[in-house]
Amino acid sequence: MAKKRTARLNSLLKEVISDVIRKDTRNPHINTLLTVTRVDITSDLHYAKVYVSVIGTDIQKKETIDALQSAAGFIAVNCSKQVVMRYFPALTFKLDDSVDKHMRIEMLLQEIGTEQKAREQHLQEPESEIPANEP
């Protein structure tokens, strides 16, 4: 039962935090190309790690995470107005690089596929006979 409750809370917090970041925060350092990928709340419901994916350079990603971390209190207060809980969890923002890893793996698989096609085409081409120079 507790696992179902935390799973439901994680899903609800993910949606609410995403909405608050998108609609209520006005920090220019928070990148607009940001997605809340998941939320992990502790079993005592006092702490939550918020994983976000940011599209941009490494510097932009770091600035966005730092800005979110500094706005964590503001985000928590606005979220607590929408989610009724005895204690709203303290938010910690973490960069989720699983999307970057997934894109890198996809790119490598595509490269491998094109290399295999090139090899197959090379092997299927009939080898032309090279005339030997006879003296």
- pLDDT, one tens digit per residue, over 45-92 is 999 999 999 988 889 999 999 999 999 999 999 999 999 889 999 999
Q: Among 4-13, 60-69, 122-131, which is the least confidently predicted range?
A: 122-131
Report long-range pairs for 127-132 (Cβ below 8 Å, ≥24 apart). Answer: none
Which residues face 95 on adjacent strands? 52
Q: What pLDDT is attached to residue 33?
A: 86
Domains in the chain, ordered, with CATH? 2-117 (3.30.300.20)
Q: How far apart are CA 29 and CA 68, in angstroms?
A: 9
Q: What pLDDT is attached to residue 46?
A: 94
Q: What pLDDT is attached to residue 1?
A: 60
Q: How far apart are CA 28 and CA 16, in angstroms?
A: 20
Structure confidence by residue, pLDDT tens digits, 88-116: 999 999 998 887 788 889 999 999 999 88
What's the rounded mean pLDDT across residues 28-43? 90
